[in-house]
Amino acid sequence: MVKLKKILAAVITTTMLATMVAGCSSKDSEEKPADGGSSQEQGGEAGSQKVTLNTVSMFGGTDPNAATYQEINKEFMAANKNITIEDNSQSSDEEWKAKVATDFASGNEPDVIQFFTDATANAVVQTDKLMSIADIQKEYPDYAKDTLPAALDAVTNTDGVKRAVPTTGYWEGLFCNKDLFEQYKVEIPTDWASLVKAIETFKANGIIPFAVSLNNVPHYFVEFLMLYTAGEEGYTSIPEKAPAEWVKGLETIKTLRDMGAFPEDTDTVDEAYVIQLFNDKKAAMILDGNWRIGGVTDQENTVVTSFPGVEDQKAQKGAMVGGMSSGFYITKKAWEDEAKREAAVKFVTAHTDKAGVTKYWEAGGATGQAAVAVDPPADMTALGKSGLEYSKSATSISGPTDSRIDPEAYKSIIANVVKISTGAAKAEDVLNEALKMSAERAK
């Protein structure tokens, strides 16, 4: 199940891009403002210098994102008659990743590339052939102006430099049956104290506070508890030994279990069972991702909110577990070519300004994490709007632990959550063993 979250997130993001084009007109794109002007209007006048822009993206092959990507490209060239796009996008398999790295190392890099921003990009970043956003903004101050600060932070390269402009990603949050909170006169929790009160009240009235299977899908609790106890910096580090904050985070699962926050059969039931508990109003809360929105039965009386927090937390309020791990880069090759510089800026803007990102976001059902402040579709449900507000309000976006340590090592943590929750295993021992395994497998 460790991989399930990643797969779901990927499906959501790719689905966004696949269907979005059908519902968006080129006229809408042409009317939206962009960096240095309009993303679709700049450079279209007669007399502009002819430019051929070499582009590469992961939106190729059978990737559903390819349709949206290519449609935006067509609209862009129609509005910018002097710019021709020669695109060489392919599916992002290991062979393609290796080819990209080789192209950069051999001086065959494109003008613009949509690529990963996490450790996968390190080989490319180390060639020093990518422009930073800060340097681009010195000449084009409106570059990436629509992109939310938290989204840019989320796609910062591992050396701490922001180079890529993202489009969409995924989020995880706390789903609440609002009508149950109203029925039992309980406030939706916003901190540890109000969370404890909610758990006690629901437990006393025969309502399961949290629908969760610690045996099957405990990942969301693992991530949020570690994030809030360790803080964003501590949570996203890769330590050699288990930090006290990580230990505290996992031990909080036992604290919650001892309070009666979980179903009595949480050790044996599966994810489908606990989701049904939530839909049947037998449970008040469930931690899940944006992909859960479509599966919630009551779209009018369900809301999504930030994780309430823990005692003496180090994370800022509104810290979110989510994922944005790719974006559009401009290479120094394009930037140093005066004929291509502005064309590259306009191209990236067409895909990453509010108009472009909205297309990608709507294609995925308007549920994921958008890199810009998007407007809700007219037919969006109350739950959908709640999810949108939640995603926009994120003060930080941190990727899950399994994006940083070896997958098998992470599995060992998840496999021991039940034991940690019952006191049969110590969180510190479990974490140390996982970190040791991760380091050894990385050699």
Convert the pLDDT of each residue in 201-230 to its tens digit.
999 999 999 999 999 999 999 999 999 999
Region 148-177: mean pLDDT is 95
Domains 2-166+324-373 and 172-322+400-442 share a fold: yes
- For the chain, the helix, strand and coil percentages under 3-state DSSP, each to the nearest 5: 50, 15, 35
Alpha-helical (H) ranges within 64-171 are 65-79, 94-105, 122-125, 133-139, 149-154
Pairing of strands 208-210, 112-116: unpaired
Residue 63 has a pLDDT of 67
Task: Name the residue with higher pLDDT: 10 or 235.
Answer: 235
Q: Which of 294, 242, 189 is nearest to 428 (CA)?
A: 242
Strand partners for 302 = 177
Asked whether residue 124 carries a pLDDT value surpassing 60, the answer given is yes
Rg of the chain on CA atoms, in Å:
23
Do residues 262 and 420 make contact, with C-beta atoms less than 8 angstroms apart?
no
Do residues 328 and 114 make contact, with C-beta atoms less than 8 angstroms apart?
yes
pLDDT-derived band at 26, boundaries 50, 70, 90: very low
Do residues 173 and 304 make contact, with C-beta atoms less than 8 angstroms apart?
yes
Residue pLDDT, tens place only, 367-417: 889 999 999 889 999 999 999 999 989 999 999 998 888 889 999 999 999
The domain ranges of the chain are 2-166+324-373, 172-322+400-442
pLDDT-derived band at 35, boundaries 50, 70, 90: very low
Residue 120 has a pLDDT of 85
Residue pLDDT, tens place only, 245-256: 999 999 999 999
d(CA 88, CA 94): 16
Alpha-helical (H) ranges within 244-300 are 244-259, 271-279
Q: Which of 52, 56, 158 is nearest to 108 (CA)?
A: 56
From the number of C-beta atoms within 10 Å of its C-beta (0-12, 13-18, 19+), residue 19 rates as middle
Strand partners for 37 = 34
Class of domain 2-166+324-373 as given by CATH: alpha beta
pLDDT-derived band at 11, boundaries 50, 70, 90: very low
Do residues 331 and 130 make contact, with C-beta atoms less than 8 angstroms apart?
yes
Region 117-127: mean pLDDT is 91
Asked whether residue 184 carries a pLDDT value surpassing 70, the answer given is yes
Residue 92 has a pLDDT of 85
Q: Which of 228, 234, 236 is nearest to 192 (CA)?
A: 228
Q: What's the whole-model pTM score?
A: 0.79
Task: Name the residue with higher pLDDT: 92 or 106.
Answer: 106
Please give the backbone phi and psi of residue 413, each rounded to the nearest 5 degrees, phi first. -65, -50
Residue 334 has a pLDDT of 98
d(CA 153, CA 36): 23
Residue pLDDT, tens place only, 262-301: 999 999 999 999 999 999 999 999 999 999 998 999 999 9
Asked whether residue 19 carries a pLDDT value surpassing 90, the answer given is no
Residue with tokens 């937390």, as numbered in its chain:
313
What architecture is domain 172-322+400-442? 3-Layer(aba) Sandwich (3.40)
Residue 64 has a pLDDT of 60
